[in-house]
Chain A
Amino acid sequence: MSVQSEELGNTGTLIYPSRIKLPYTWHVGKVGSRFYQEIKDNGKIWGIKCSKCEWVFVPPRETCPRCYCDMSEWVELSDTGTLLTYTVTRYAVPGIQPLEPPFALGIIKLDGASTGLVHLLGEIDLNDISVGLRVKAVFREVREGNYLDIKYFKPVRA
């Protein structure tokens, strides 16, 4: 198989189209695996609490990034939270986007957590999203143990 070099405009130079395409298998780690397993098996979102600064982190991790001490206190979080910020992506990038644009992303502070969780927003009018909106996690029917086991967060109707 050959690569067809292309002219770069009228510069007299060539472009050589190629790619770096490689499969990866990232290890999630013990803490992350438990986080995903709970979502997968029980549809529950857990955070982890630092005994020193008392922040509850989600996604959970082994070491508190702020205090650099180990964390072991798991905290079950609500599946509902408040939208801190959002955007609607209106351009297409082949290969990396989970949905056809336009699609909405937000950072959600789940009740009980100190940090925000970045995720998709669904069942929502893309022209009527606002900071402070209450949203709730919608889980996928078939879950694989990854970030998209949460399908998206949808607005909670008062």
Chain B
Amino acid sequence: MKRRVGIVGVGQTHHRSKNTDCNGQELISIAVKMALENAELTMADIDAIVIGNMDHFESINYVDMWSVDGSGGYMKPIMKVTTGGTTGSAIGHAGFYHAASGLFDTVLVIGWEQNSESDTTAAISTCFDPITEREYSAGAIGPLAAHYIAYMSKYAATEEDAALVSVRDHNNAALYNPYAHLRQTIAVEDVMRSAYISYPIKLLDMCPRTDGACAVIFASEKKARKITERPAWILGVGDCHILVHLADGIGLANLPSLEIAAREAYEMAGITDPFNQIDVAELYIPASTAGVSWMEALGLCEEGGGPRLIRSGVTNMGGKLPINPSGGVLATNPIGATGLLRIGEAALQVMGKAEKKQVEGAKVAVATGFGGCFWSDVTVLSSLPGLD
């Protein structure tokens, strides 16, 4: 018998490029306190905690242990999960499994990062194999750029299509999300005029680095129903960590890990027609170019249909399938929290608590995580306990 799990509370910090007035534990506690308040719970109600970040970004070993002053983990079960960019979604899934196992009823999940405490690019470079990759690997931008070059030539996609994604996400953040890091409205020309980082990806196509934290509370069905009338039920989870050598990510057609993870999550959730069944999506896209091409992997359009979908405006607020009402990763990227923010924002949507960024009548949401070496996690959430 599978157990239902619902999200009952979501909290996050005001994300910023540099949080000088709080330390890591305090940053975490801001998100945790907000999540508890959101769920009308106290720390005493929490049965277990899952936390995640990237060790070398803050140079703290055993963050689960270090965190207890901020996470509330004193004399509680707590564990750490970390998988790079997918950390946030992976801890979300770990929180789900904590509750779905029947071992814990109410589970607090925390993702956080104080990126300003180190040199983010340098810290990221340490994820590459020290003997055969690290010296010349500064991040995933090369493969991402290569992928979009191939995609443009195959499907007549353009740099403007990517710019549309960037504009959508930045403007959603500016207009609707008071917690977002970058909150300035931009136009396609601004993106097109920004400098190339790695052709065809330009400065305004890329995600920033952010200090911030997110906390999400998962609960077993019985507890969830007691806590709130409208939890965000987790209908499906999927994850796929497909590669380990960055260079092998190059020849990939689209993002196979996302296809696999989505297939798993959809199957579990009973989603057969994603475009029509999903009301809102919070997607982890590290660059706007991925916002064009990865919709295919999620089954939101046919092969090569990304540009059509983006140009049509259906993914904008007010469209049939708004993507990233929160502004997504292009506006806010506290790495260990980023994937969890997607789950948290998607949960707020189906709980009807997304405030200004609310998509009217949203019942089914999908959230994704991206990171590691072209890895993906997918979560399907709904205000309904099941789709059938």
Contacts and interface: CB of A to CB of B under 8 A. Distances in A.
Interface residues of B, number: 30
B74 A66 contact: yes
A22 interface: yes
A30 B271 CA distance: 48
Contact of B117 (A25, A32, A62, A65): A25
A50 to B, nearest CB: 12
Interface in A9-39: 16, 18, 20, 22-32
A63 B23 CA distance: 12
A61 interface: yes
A62 B21 CA distance: 12
A91 interface: no
Interface in B76-90: none
A22 B126 CA distance: 10
Contacts of A68: 42-43, 72, 74
Contact of A18 (B72, B118, B130): B130
Contacts of B116: 25, 27
B123 interface: yes
A62 B29 contact: yes
A20 B126 contact: yes
Given A20-B56, A22-B56, A66-B74, A29 B119 contact: no
Interface string B27-61: 00100000000000011000000000000101100
Nearest to B23: A29
A28 B26 CA distance: 10
A28 B24 CA distance: 9
Given A22-B59, A65-B68, A29 B21 contact: yes
A24 B117 contact: yes
A89 B70 CA distance: 31
Nearest to B130: A18
A23 B58 contact: no
A23 B119 CA distance: 8
B211 to A, nearest CB: 8
Contacts of A16: 130-131
Given A22-B119, A23-B119, A24-B58, A29 B74 contact: no
Contacts of B117: 24-27
Contacts of B24: 26-27
B22 A27 contact: yes
A29 B59 contact: no
A22 B123 contact: yes
B114 interface: yes
B114 A27 contact: yes
A27 B114 CA distance: 9
B69 interface: yes
B25 interface: yes
7 contacts: A18-B134, A22-B56, A26-B117, A27-B21, A29-B21, A29-B26, A63-B25
Given A27-B21, A27-B114, A65-B68, 14 more contacts: A20-B56, A22-B59, A22-B118, A22-B119, A24-B58, A24-B117, A27-B117, A30-B21, A31-B26, A65-B69, A65-B74, A66-B74, A68-B42, A68-B74
Interface of A: 16, 18, 20, 22-32, 61-63, 65-66, 68
Q: What 9 pairs between A and B have smallest CB-CB spacing?
A: A29-B23, A68-B43, A29-B22, A65-B74, A68-B72, A65-B69, A29-B26, A16-B131, A63-B29
